[in-house]
Structure 1
C-alpha cells in the first residue's frame, strides 16, 4: 500500500502543470502567518529545515526568520523549480522519511507546510515524525499542517470541476472543453485510485479531490495527531490553529489544522540539569 500511495502522489507532484502551480508566488495562509509569527522569536538565526518545499511558497517567509535555511523535497522537479526561483538559497533532493544527510539535533525549526506530511502511508507518516524529532535541537519546534478527519471535506462525495459560464461564444466553448477534460480526468483518477483508500479507526487515507483526484491524502483528528506527536517524542498537547489562524484546543471543523510541536529539552543522566535550553514560544 505504501508503494502505491507513493507512486500516485509522486507522479502528480512531478507533473509539469502541478510544479508550475506550486511555483507561483502564492502568499502564506492565515494559519501559516500566525504560526510563523509564533515561532519566529525562538527560530531567529537558527537553522531552518523546510520539508516538502514544493515550488518555494514558504521560502521567503522562512528566510526572513533565518538565513541558515535548507529546503528539501522528494520531487526533483520541485527542487529544480526552487533553485531557479531562489538561486541564493539552498535546496536538496531528500525524502523526509530518511533524512540521513541531516545530523541529529542540528535544526532549530522544521516546517512541513501545505499538508505535505499527509502524502505518505500511515507507517511512513510516523517515520517522518520520528525523523523530524531526531534532527531538531532540544527545545526545537516543528510546524506542519494536516487534513482534519472531523471536517466536512472528509465525507464529501465526488466534486465536479468548477465552471463559469460566458455569453461570449468562443470563451464559452473553451471553458466547456476544459470542463469536459477535467471531468473525464477526475472520473479516471477516481476509478483508478479509490481502491487504495484506507479507513482505520485512528486515521484514513482517501483519494482526495486535490489535483483532480490525483492524490491519496491522510486525514486524522486533532486528538489523534497530538497522540502521534507525543508517541514520536514531542511534548504533549501541541498547539493547534485553524485555517483562519485562530488557536484551537479540543476540535475544529476546518479542513486543515496547523500545529506547533516542541521537542523536549534534554537532561543529563541524573535528570537534574538541563543540557540545552530554549526560550519558550513567545506569547
Structure 2
C-alpha cells in the first residue's frame, strides 16, 4: 500500500502543471502566520529545516526567522524550481522518511506545511515523525499541518470542477472545454485511485479532491495526531490552530489543523506550553 500511495502522489507532484502551481507566490495561511509568529522569537537565528518545500511558498517567511535554512523535497522538479527562484538559499533532494544527510539533534525548527505529511502511508507517516524527532534538538519545534478527519471535507462525495458562466462566446467555449477536460480527469482519477483507500478506527487514507483526485491523502483527528506525536517523542498536548489562526482550546471541524509540537528535552527544563514565547498569535 505504501508503494501505491507513493506512486500515485509522486506522479501527480512531479507533473509540470502541479510544479508550476506550487511555484506561484502564494502567501501564508492565517494558521501558518500565527504559528510562525509564535515560534519566531524562539527560533531566531537557529537552524531551520523546511520539509516538502514544494515551489518555495514558505522560504521567505522562514528565512526571515533564520538564514540558517535548508529546504528539502522528494520531488526533484520542486527542488529545481526552488533553486531557480532562490539561488542564494540551500535546497536538497531528500525524503522526509529517511533524512540521513541531516544530523541528529541539528535542527531547532522543522516545518512541514500544506498538509505534506499526509501524502504517505500510515507507517511512513510515523517514520516521518520519528525522523523529525531525531533531527530536532532537545526542546526543538515541529510545525506542520494535517487533514482533519472530523471535517466535512473527509466525508464529502464526488465533486465536479467549478464552472464560471460568461456571456462572451469565445470565453464560454474555452471554459466549457476546460470544464469537460477537468471533469474527465476527475472521473478517470477517481475510478483508478479510490480502490486504494484505507479506512481504520484511528485514521484514513482517501482519494482526495486535491489536483482533480490525483492524490491519496491521510486524514486523522486532533486527538489521534497528538497521540502519534507523543509516541514519537514529542511533548503531549501539542498546540493546535484552526484555519483562521486561532489557537484551539478544544476541537475543530476545519478541513485542516496546524500543530506546533516540541521535542521532549532530556532535562524537561522547558515547560510544555511554549511559555518563553511572548509573541501573540
On the 8 A contact 1:222/1:250 being kept in 2, the answer is: no
* Alignment TM-score, normalising by the size of structure 2: 0.96
1:169 aligns with 2:169: yes
Q: CA deviation at 1:133?
A: 0.4
Q: Distance in 2 between matches of 1:131 and 1:90?
A: 20
Q: Distance in 2 between matches of 1:32 and 1:73?
A: 19
On the 8 A contact 1:9/1:119 being kept in 2, the answer is: yes
Q: 1:18-64, CA deviations, whole angstroms, 9 ceiling, x for partnerless residues? A: 00000000000000000000000110000000000000000000000
* SS class of match (2:235): coil
Structure 2 equivalent of residue 151 of structure 1 = 151
1:91 aligns with 2:91: yes
Q: CA deviation at 1:84?
A: 0.2
Q: CA deviation at 1:264?
A: 1.4
* Alignment TM-score, normalising by the size of structure 1: 0.96
Q: 1:212-265, CA deviations, whole angstroms, 9 ceiling, x for partnerless residues? A: 000000000000000000000000000000000001133100000000000112
1:282 aligns with 2:278: yes
- 1:210-221 to 2 correspondences below 5 Å: 210-221=210-221
Q: Distance in 2 between matches of 1:31 and 1:111?
A: 13
Structure 2 equivalent of residue 3 of structure 1 = 3
- 1:1-283 to 2 correspondences below 5 Å: 1-267=1-267, 280-283=276-279
Q: CA deviation at 1:148?
A: 0.2
* SS class of match (1:111): strand
Q: CA deviation at 1:282?
A: 3.2
On the 8 A contact 1:199/1:205 being kept in 2, the answer is: yes
On the 8 A contact 1:110/1:141 being kept in 2, the answer is: yes
Q: Distance in 2 between matches of 1:279 and 1:70?
A: 27
Q: Distance in 1 between matches of 2:33 and 2:201?
A: 32
* SS class of match (2:65): coil
| Unpaired segments ≥5 residues, structure 1 | none
Q: CA deviation at 1:281?
A: 3.3
* SS class of match (2:260): strand
Structure 1 residue runs of 4+, over 4 Å off?
none
Q: CA deviation at 1:279?
A: 7.5
